[in-house]
Amino acid sequence: MRTVLVRISGPDQLGISAELFGVLAGMNAIVRDIEQIVVRRRLTLDVLIEVEKGDDVLKDLLLFGFKRDLKIDVEEVEDDPTEYSQQFVVTLIGEELTPIELNKATVAITSGNGNIDRIVRLSTYPVMSYELSVNGGDIGRIRENLLSVASILPKMDVAIQPLNLSRRAKRLVVLDVDSTLIQDEVIDLLAAQAGCEREVSEITESAMQGKLDFVEALHQRVLLLKGLDELAVERAWHELTLTPGARTFCRTLGRLGFTTAIVSGGFSIFTDRLQKELGIRHGQANHLEMVNGRLTGRLKGPIVDRQAKADFLKEIAALEGVPIEQTVAVGDGANDLDMLSEAGLGIAFNAKPIVRDAANTSLRVPYLDAVLFLLGVTREEIEAADSDDLT
C-alpha cells in the first residue's frame, strides 16, 4: 500500500465531495483523513488515502478535475501517522486585525515551537476574530509570548486555551454587573439622584487607594443615599446603559443551552430587573433597605464582596450540576479576581491592569458579545440562531 495526499482546489460547486468519493470508491481507496475549507466560494479539499502500490490514481482524478474545472494535485507521502502532542486554541480578537498583528501573533506561537494546524475566521462584526488550532510547543512560553505581543499591540486581544472536552463543554457563565454587563456604576447613578456624587466619588477613591476596605466604603456610600425615594430610584434605572452586545450575548447563551448568572457588589433593585429583562437565571447583589418608599441608608443581609462572588460561582455550579472547569466568569474589578481565578475560564473585560494580569484571558474591545468568540461561537452561528428565532 502507498499513502497519497490528494488536494482539490477551485470554484466551489454542488456535489463535488460526492463525486470525488465516488471516484475514490472506484479505486478501492482507503480514506485516512479529510479536511475541507471554502473561502469566498473557493474550495480547498484535502483527502489522505491509501491505495495499492500499482494503482494509477492520477488518471481518474484528473478526469474528475477536468470535468469540474478543478485543479488536482497528487503527492505520495510518508505513511506514518501525524503525532499529536498537546493541542490548544489561540483566539485573536480586534476591531481590525492587520497583517502586522497577525504576523506578530503567529511568530509568537512559532517561537514557542507551536505548529498552527488550522485557522478559522469566527467573525467580522462587531470585531474581527480568528481561531488558531495549535499543535505542540510549550504552552507556557507561547502564552508569555502572546501576552507580550498583546501588551505592545493595544488593538489586539489574545486568548489561549487547552483544546479539550472542558473547553468545548462550557455550560455556566457568571457575569459581574457594574462596568461589565452595564457601562455604569449603579452607586454613581443613585448618587446623582441624591445630589451626593462628589462625596461618593471621594469615598470610592479612598477605597481604591487602600484607605478604606470594600465593606466600610460601601456602608459609607449607602448612608449618603438615605432618604432617596422610589421615584428617584426609577429615574436612576432609566439612566442605566447596557454594555454594547449585552443583549446578543445573553440571548445567544440561552439559545446554546448555557445557564447565565449575575453577581454584583451593587444592588438588587437593579440586578433583579436585569435578570428579568435579559433572561438571566440566577442573581446575587446587595439589598438596600427601603421603608415607606424611601432608602434608609442601610443594607439588609450579607454583603456581596470579593469572596462572596467566588462562593456564588461555586454555589451556582453545584446547583446546576456543572463542573467548575466548565464555568466561565467575566468581570472587570479587583473584587472579581477570586471569581475569575476559580472559574474554568476567567475573562477580564475592559479591566483594570491588576485584573488583566491575573486573569486567564482579557478583552479590551467594548463589545460583550465578543466573549462568545472565546467560546468558539462564530458570528454566522449567532445570526443563524437569530434567524431561526424569527421563523
- Reduce the secondary structure of 263-286 to three states and give it as a string: EEEEEHHHHHHHHHHHCCCEEEEE
Phi, psi of 77 (to 5 degrees): -125, 170
The pLDDT, as a whole number, for residue 58 is 80
Q: Is 176 a catalytic residue?
A: yes
The pLDDT, as a whole number, for residue 352 is 85
Look at phi and psi of residue 266 and say left if phi exceeds 0, alpha if psi is from -120 to 50, else beta. beta
Ranges of residues in the chain with a pLDDT under 70 are 54-55, 79-85, 164-169, 387-391
Sketch the domain layout of the chain as residue ranges: 2-77, 87-163, 172-184+240-288+298-385
- Per CATH, domain 87-163 is 3.90.25.10: no
Phi, psi of 278 (to 5 degrees): -105, 5
Same fold, 2-77 and 172-184+240-288+298-385: no
The pLDDT, as a whole number, for residue 124 is 93
CA 68 to chain centre: 40
Choosing from 176, 184, 332, 369, the catalytic residue is 176
Q: What does the block give as the cell for 79?
A: 505513511
Q: Residue 70: which of 12, 128, 152 has the closest Cα?
A: 12
Regarding the domain delimited by 2-77, which CATH topology (the fold level of the hierarchy) does it fall under? Answer: Alpha-Beta Plaits (3.30.70)
For 315-332, give one letter per residue: b (16+ CB within 10 A) or e. ebbeebebeeebbbbbbb
The pLDDT, as a whole number, for residue 86 is 73
Length, in residues, of the chain: 391
Q: Provide the 3-class DSSP secondary structure of residue 259.
A: strand
Q: Is 369 a catalytic residue?
A: no
Q: Provide the 3-class DSSP secondary structure of residue 387.
A: helix
The pLDDT, as a whole number, for residue 139 is 87
Choosing from 12, 80, 178, 332, the catalytic residue is 178
The pLDDT, as a whole number, for residue 40 is 83
The pLDDT, as a whole number, for residue 210 is 77
Q: Which of the four CATH numbers 3.40.50.300, 3.40.50.1000, 3.30.70.120, 3.40.50.740 does domain 172-184+240-288+298-385 have?
A: 3.40.50.1000
**197 contact partners, CB below 8 Å, separation of at least 6:** 188, 191
Alpha-carbon distance of 271 to 280, in angstroms, equals: 10
Give the bridge partners for 300, in sequence order.
287
The pLDDT, as a whole number, for residue 81 is 59
The pLDDT, as a whole number, for residue 163 is 76
Alpha-carbon distance of 217 to 255, in angstroms, equals: 39
